[in-house]
Amino acid sequence: MSPSAVPGATATAAGPRLVAGRGELSAAVTDALRSGRPPAYDPETVLGADPWGEDLQLALYLLYELHYRGFEDVDDAREWDPDLLRLRQACEDRFLHTLRAGLCGAPRSVEAAFAPLLVEPVDPSGSLSHYLETEGALWQLREYAALRSLYHLKEADPHAWVIPRLTGRAKAAMVAVEYDEFGGGRADRIHARLFADLMAGLGLDPTYGRYLDRAPAALLATVNLMSLFGLHRALRGALVGHFACVEVTSSPGSRRMAHAMRRCGGGPAAEHFYTEHVAADAVHEQVVRHEVIGGLLTDEPTLEADIAFGCAATVLLEDRLTARIRRAWDQDRTALRTPSPEG
């Protein structure tokens, strides 16, 4: 009898390897997944954990990954383990409360939230793509790709969770955009596949999850935000706001990254990934803003503040990540937690 025919058996392909914890919470998750036992931790540790810190953000990332590809030698059934879900909820509450508190003065209307994103900044010093386009070196482009791989190798997956939570015009438009993200029916054009090609062209390992152990908390938080919004129906408006924020800023940023790859000799696959996004995301921006957001507000006007929150949270976390990377690079240090073995 094949494994898939055995009731309760795990029959999926092996996921990425687990990584070592960075504190009590993430170590509890890792140990629980390896042993099959409930996570052992003090609930007070969650309440006192740094919501931006390595420990809580890694714990969340590991718990969220159970809803994507899981981990090597970890039973797929752990995805819905009540003890792990209880810990996840506690970590989520800490993270979400911090986001809301930090954005209590942010715009609550869609128009006010997105207006600054629709014009090029007067001072581009806070933009990584501006820096990489004009000053970045190839080693920095490679580090940036290694970091971003934690999302781009699952590109558009977190946003797919919102589809069954939308109706009518918003649902149809969201599906149309996601169809493009997933290659328009062609496996070789799936954006995650194009990013894997980019990584290989840069001499990086395109294995899913390969650089998790080297990704700092500021990067993990940007991916965790998508998973947090995507896994909660109550946060569907925030996920739409996040997705729209990404699409609005993607086309001009991708144009700059394509120039950076060309200038530094990143190779045709690296350049192609970004040129593909220049054209596609310019169209996606219009569809998401006018059809997805417009349709959702027609159906559920009370979600406007949530959409604005999703946009503001995305900007906040991207700004934190940019600052973290630039601090390292300005001191001629790696932005990874530890240097990549690929050099």
Asked if residue 281 and residue 139 are part of one domain, the reply reads yes
Report yes or no on 338 lying in a domain: no
Q: What is the pLDDT of residue 131?
A: 95
Report yes or no on 339 lying in a domain: no
Which of these three, 102, 136, 155, is where a domain ends?
Answer: 102
Query: For 122-155, how does the pLDDT look when each residue is reduced to its tens digit (9 = 90+)?
Result: 677 778 999 999 999 999 999 999 999 999 999 9
Asked if residue 192 and residue 130 are part of one domain, the reply reads yes
Asked if residue 281 and residue 219 are part of one domain, the reply reads yes
Q: What is the pLDDT of residue 341?
A: 64
Asked if residue 148 and residue 83 are part of one domain, the reply reads no
Q: Which residues of 223-252 are buried (b: 16+ CB within 10 A; e: fewer)?
A: bbbbbbbbeeeebbbbbbbbbbbbbbbbbb
Amino acid at 203: G
Report yes or no on 25 lying in a domain: yes
Amino acid at 146: A
| Residue span of the structural domain in which 28 resides | 3-102
Asked if residue 41 and residue 81 are part of one domain, the reply reads yes
Asked if residue 54 and residue 169 are part of one domain, the reply reads no
Report yes or no on 250 lying in a domain: yes
Other Cβ atoms within 10 Å of 295 Cβ, number: 20
Say how far apart CA 81 and CA 182 lie, in whole Å: 30
Asked if residue 166 and residue 272 are part of one domain, the reply reads yes
Asked if residue 290 and residue 182 are part of one domain, the reply reads yes
Asked if residue 166 and residue 130 are part of one domain, the reply reads yes
Say how far apart CA 177 and CA 71 lie, in whole Å: 29
Report yes or no on 115 lying in a domain: yes
Contact 341/148 with Cβ under 8 angstroms? no
Asked if residue 88 and residue 167 are part of one domain, the reply reads no
Q: What is the pLDDT of residue 13?
A: 53
Asked if residue 95 and residue 158 are part of one domain, the reply reads no
Report yes or no on 336 lying in a domain: no
Asked if residue 115 and residue 53 are part of one domain, the reply reads no
Assign residue 243 the CATH number of its domain. Answer: 1.20.910.10
Which of these three, 102, 122, 138, is where a domain ends?
Answer: 102
* Domains contained in the chain, number: 2
Report yes or no on 340 lying in a domain: no
Q: What is the pLDDT along the chain (343 residues), one digit of tens a residue?
A: 333 333 444 534 578 999 999 999 999 999 999 999 999 999 999 999 999 999 999 999 999 999 999 999 999 999 999 999 999 999 999 999 999 999 999 999 999 999 999 887 767 777 899 999 999 999 999 999 999 999 999 999 999 999 999 999 999 999 999 999 999 999 999 999 999 999 999 999 999 999 999 999 999 999 999 999 999 999 999 999 999 999 998 888 999 999 999 999 999 999 999 998 887 777 888 899 999 999 999 999 999 999 999 999 999 999 999 999 999 999 999 999 998 766 5
Report yes or no on 342 lying in a domain: no
Task: Give 259: exposed, middle or buried? Use CB within 10 Å, 0-12, 13-18, 19+.
Answer: middle
Which of these three, 75, 102, 129, is where a domain ends?
Answer: 102
